[in-house]
Amino acid sequence: MLQELFTPSVQHALDLAGIFVFAISGALLAVRKNFDVFGMAVLAEVTALGGGLLRDLIIGAVPPAAFTDLGYFLMPLVATVLVFFLHPVVERIQAGVNVFDAAGLGLFCVTGTTKAYEYGLGLTSSAVLGVATAAGGGVLRDVLANEAPSLLRWDRDLYAVPAIVGATMVALFIRFDSLNAFTSSLAALTAFAIRLLAMRFHWRAPRAWNRRSTATEEI
């Protein structure tokens, strides 16, 4: 099914683009944490490939694509080199990087859901793995950097929610036998747009109703 949506060359190019921008975010966090170049490379690789690796291991797509395509492995290293030498410049264009990160989120929640379904999972499980594909690398990145995962923090703009919406749309399109290049692109664009709006207007998920605790989140 995935091969029917996009040609292999287009799919590969989109994957590499998504991997690159995710790797940038991992390498930048490593710089902020004062990690050395090896730590930068590790965070870049984990951020870019962690979600897809988790998905492939769960669905039995072994060896995972991260280990069979050299481009998948090398792209985070390219991002690491870029950030290593030009991190002040990359920091200044962080807003632009965030836009591409949002695009990667939209793309990966769609491709992750579709691939999981191809391997025999139900619609709900496929959507869950679609979200894991899009956001899992960021969770692993934050854990390795000894931070609370961003998508669990109330003081961070919505991140998982756009992926959930995109993955759910894909599952519904599959359910009604209407998944094609147009509808899959629509799902990706919807997730992308929600993420951009969340960053623009600082949309955040609500905390517990009638929360009485005065504890504040460390920034």
CA separation for the pair 76, 16 (Å, rounded): 9
Q: Would you list the DSSP string of 20-58?
A: HHHHHHHHHHHHHTT--HHHHHHHHHHHHHHHHHHHHHH
The pLDDT of residue 219 is: 46
The whole model's pTM is what?
0.88
**Residue located via tokens 């961003």:** 150
pLDDT in tens, the chain (219 residues): 555 566 778 778 888 988 998 999 899 999 989 999 999 999 999 999 999 999 999 999 999 988 999 999 999 999 999 999 998 887 787 787 888 889 889 999 999 999 999 999 999 999 999 999 999 999 999 999 999 898 888 889 999 999 999 999 999 999 999 999 899 999 999 999 999 999 999 999 888 887 665 555 554
Taking residue 69's Cβ as centre, other Cβ atoms within 10 Å add up to 15
- What's the confidence (pLDDT) of residue 6? 64
